[in-house]
Amino acid sequence: MPSKNKILVPQARKQLDQLKADVMKAKGYKVDNERPDAVKYEVAKELGIPLSDGYNGKLTSEQAGKIGGPIGGNMVKEMVRLAQEQMAKNQQ
């Protein structure tokens, strides 16, 4: 199922998917490089949340947040770390 997220720079989708794959692999999840978004199913299973391929309208906002939060949160932490690293290089 294609992602419904709208990114500001559509050309960055491939790099964002790669970042997601790298970050979630580092957290110990099995990630398919061809479908990095599918890691959400593994996260949901680990949390005991019934996420299925297709319609998931019966999930609560809390359940959806428990799935997406760790994924997006870890991606943001990694982007901040990379930005800090780049800024430190530029100051030298």
What is the block-wise mean pLDDT of the chain (92 residues), using blocks of 10 residues?
A: 69 90 92 88 93 91 93 94 94 83
Q: Is-contact 36 18, C-beta < 8 A?
A: yes
Does the model's pTM come out above 0.85?
A: no
pLDDT of residue 13: 87
pLDDT of residue 1: 47
pLDDT of residue 47: 93
Distance from chain centroid for Cα 16? 8
Smallest Cα–Cα separation from 2: which of 24, 15, 17? Answer: 17
pLDDT of residue 73: 93
Taking CA atoms, 92 is separated from 36, 84, 86, in Å, by 35, 13, 10
Retrieve residue 49's tokens: 């949340």
